[in-house]
A and B are shown apart, each in its own frame.
Chain A
Amino acid sequence: MTLKRNRAFAVVGAASVLALAACSSPGGGGGDAQDVPGVTEDKIVIGTHQPLTGPAAAGFSSISAATSAYFDYINDNGGINGREIEFIVKDDGYNPANTQTVVRDLVLQEEVFAILGGLGTPTHSAVIDFLNENEVPDLFVSGGSPMWDQPEKYPWTFGYNSEYIAEAAILAHYAQTEMPDGTYCMFGQDDDFGDDFEKGALEILGADGLAASERYSVANQDVTAQISALKAANCDVVFLASINGFTALAVGTAAQLGFFPQWMATSAGGDYGTLEKDYLQENAPLLLENFISTFYLSLETNQDDPWIEHFQMVQDEYNGGGEIGGNDIFGMNMAYMFAEALAAAGDNPTRESIVEAIESGAVKGSGLVPLGYSPEDHTGNTGVQLSQVKSGVQAYFGAPYVYENGEVTEYTGGQVPFENGIPGSN
């Protein structure tokens, strides 16, 4: 009787596991249906991991919607080399553990051609080895870590953002020029983001250039202690190596404490539109007066910019309308750059051919500073321009700067001119 029962259990157990096997999609173990994963005659499938939920979400969740919208625009106009682009967006909640799961899902289950714009330094660093081992093009990672620029170690990975070190150096350079005797401090994320920024800042300011350096953890939203420490240090300038949510928290908490330094934020957390709409709302113009930030793409406040006109058109027709914001521009530019790369990859794109296309410099983007792509360099935007908020309007001033080999130099080449919204078409 008991033997029977145990056999029965073993059978039931095996059966349930076999049921799991039955859910397996074809293409395991044996030969593949198509030669290049994610590519067919008329479609190409790519994927991304984004923080659609969680503490980082409010500041970044609109990026992928904008990228999708731009791909809709391209698909409506014939696609690239006759192929439509399908863009699968998966949520990882800014949690590296979830990133592991969703990226494996995208690569092993959905069999995407490439990963585009994976967002976040802590999240993407969890999957960069997996992607390179599986030889999946890991394009235009949304984060400023120098980790994405290592062609020997990660040949399939390409950066996109300006690097944290570059932004730190450029901001520090500006601070030193404008306030040579000031007290400089920083408030940063307690991971590579904050570490890299600090490194870049100290390179320019010297080993003891920062009077105070406070860190925050995304898991803990009470930053009163850190901000009051900065206040106690009498900082004139506070560099913010923070994501949008924590930029808002820092500025808001400081105001409550009666502390009003010169804020200087990076592009990862310095978009006035996002800070106003998602966090500070009607307090934004007051709290963010004179707020300095950096960016490398067109600013939505510049209505004469042909790129803005073009992106606004796409926004109106494919992304639900409304005023275009920094995240929308970020996302659309990413889609545009991917389209450039895909167009240059040839009529029968392979994973190798798209990597070669990018390394050959075929991708220009729409930004204010040059892109660094070459066989020895996988850096995206090589610098930034500074912007300041006056009466609720964020606008660029001065000139764009690039950062190379520890040097900050002005860039005079001008923005990439707008010709056609769809690369490769005539």
Chain B
Amino acid sequence: MELERFLFLTVDGLARGAVLAVFALSLVLIWRAARIINFSQGAIAMAATYLAFVVTSATGNYWLGLVAALLGGAAIGFVVERGVMRYVSSVNPLNSVIAALGVLLVIQAIIGMLFGNGYHPMQVPFSQSPLPWLAGLSISAYDLFVFACVGFVVIGLAVLFGKTNVGLRMRAAAFSPELARLLGVRSNRMITLGWMLASALSALAALLVVPTELGLNPHSTDAVFVYAFTIAVVGGLDSAPGAVVGGLVVGVLLSWVSGYLGATLSPVAVLVLLLAVLLIKPGGIFSVTKERTA
């Protein structure tokens, strides 16, 4: 019984961690592209999830909703970057944080006004009950779907950045915008592209995790953002593999804390972890750069 519970908590943690890792990846993307931490990422993802909800309710098709979330997320990311963040002076890093928080409040308010603050239960395409033929491991079909999505994303990103021209340009623009511009890369466009991609990713993550809770509401992603931020920090803001591994590790850790010490302690565990990593190894466990300059 004890082993069964431990396995269940671990698998549950891996599934949740995988989703959070995707969200963390979106934060890493924007960090690498524009050197800011996007505090409005959660709200953008939430708004895209509402879009999926509307489309799925109207058509009865989950997959159309998924596509809508990805496209919608990218669109909202585009609007936020081009419409707001572009104009924020980067002299003081606090400015971008404050602006992003303002965007967060605006998005939450708009969604609240359009849909009300109530909770909307969301459906999942696969069953969430444990699969019988993997007895003892308590993996459900939905869990497998989540793992598949995350794997697809990670491989996709690796291919995009490693093998394609666009990816190369994005990396160049992120590493040294001025130099890249001299070499003919349109840095500003790459930054916008980075935002759009990141927002689509975070939308996917939100869409995967929200249905497992009480319901979709304007505050669904508040905690998810903090968890993802923690993962990004733990894994190293510059490191994509770090975000993935960090996500799985943090997911499992939180699941163990929740299962053995009480579900209410998860946010406390996150705070402790965040403090520990930032104070002991500020670069994150996987980071390569020596100094953490914000």
B93 within 8 A of A: no
The distance in angstroms between the C-alpha atoms of A279 and B123, with both chains bound, is 11
Interface residues of A in 62-111 (CB under 8 A from B): 93
For chain A, give the interface size range. 20 to 34
B129 touches A222 (CB 8 A): no
- Given A245-B214, A249-B214, A256-B140, the answer on whether A58 and B263 have CB atoms closer than 8 Å is no
B residues near A258, Cβ cutoff 8 Å: 129-130
B213 touches A221 (CB 8 A): yes
Determine how close the nearest CB of chain B comes to the CB of A59; give it in whole angstroms: 10
**Which of A200-208, A223-231, A335-343, A396-404 is near enough to bind chain B?**
A223-231
B140 to A, closest residue via Cβ: A256
B31 within 8 A of A: no
Interface residues of B in 113-167 (CB under 8 A from A): 116-119, 121, 128-130, 138, 140
A residues near B259, Cβ cutoff 8 Å: 224-225, 228
Determine how close the nearest CB of chain B comes to the CB of A219; give it in whole angstroms: 8
A residues near B1, Cβ cutoff 8 Å: 232
The distance in angstroms between the C-alpha atoms of A228 and B5, with both chains bound, is 8
**Which of A49-57, A358-366, A409-417 is near enough to bind chain B?**
A49-57
Cβ-neighbour of B116 out of A53, A225, A249, A255 (below 8 A):
A53
A348 within 8 A of B: no
B238 within 8 A of A: no
A residues near B121, Cβ cutoff 8 Å: 278-279, 281
A61 within 8 A of B: yes
A residues near B258, Cβ cutoff 8 Å: 222, 224-225
Determine how close the nearest CB of chain A comes to the CB of B263; give it in whole angstroms: 4
A53 touches B118 (CB 8 A): yes
B264 within 8 A of A: yes
The distance in angstroms between the C-alpha atoms of A53 and B140, with both chains bound, is 32
A220 touches B263 (CB 8 A): yes
Determine how close the nearest CB of chain A comes to the CB of B133; give it in whole angstroms: 14
A54 touches B117 (CB 8 A): yes
- What per-residue 1/0 map shows which CB atoms of B7-22 lie under 8 Å from chain A? 0110010000000000
B129 touches A256 (CB 8 A): yes
- Given A57-B117, A220-B264, A255-B129, the answer on whether A228 and B8 have CB atoms closer than 8 Å is yes
A residues near B140, Cβ cutoff 8 Å: 256
A391 within 8 A of B: no
B residues near A223, Cβ cutoff 8 Å: 263
The distance in angstroms between the C-alpha atoms of A57 and B213, with both chains bound, is 15
B residues near A93, Cβ cutoff 8 Å: 117
A425 within 8 A of B: no
B5 touches A53 (CB 8 A): no
B215 within 8 A of A: yes
A57 touches B129 (CB 8 A): no
The distance in angstroms between the C-alpha atoms of A26 and B213, with both chains bound, is 48
A303 within 8 A of B: no
B184 within 8 A of A: no
B residues near A255, Cβ cutoff 8 Å: 129
Task: Name A's B-contacting residues (CB within 8 A).
Answer: 52-55, 57-58, 61, 93, 216-217, 220-226, 228, 232, 245, 248-249, 255-258, 278-279, 281
- The 8 A-B residue pairs with the shortest CB-CB distance in the complex, in nearest-first order: A53-B117, A221-B214, A225-B263, A225-B258, A225-B259, A221-B213, A256-B128, A256-B129
Task: Name B's A-contacting residues (CB within 8 A).
Answer: 1, 5, 8-9, 12, 116-119, 121, 128-130, 138, 140, 213-215, 258-259, 262-264, 266
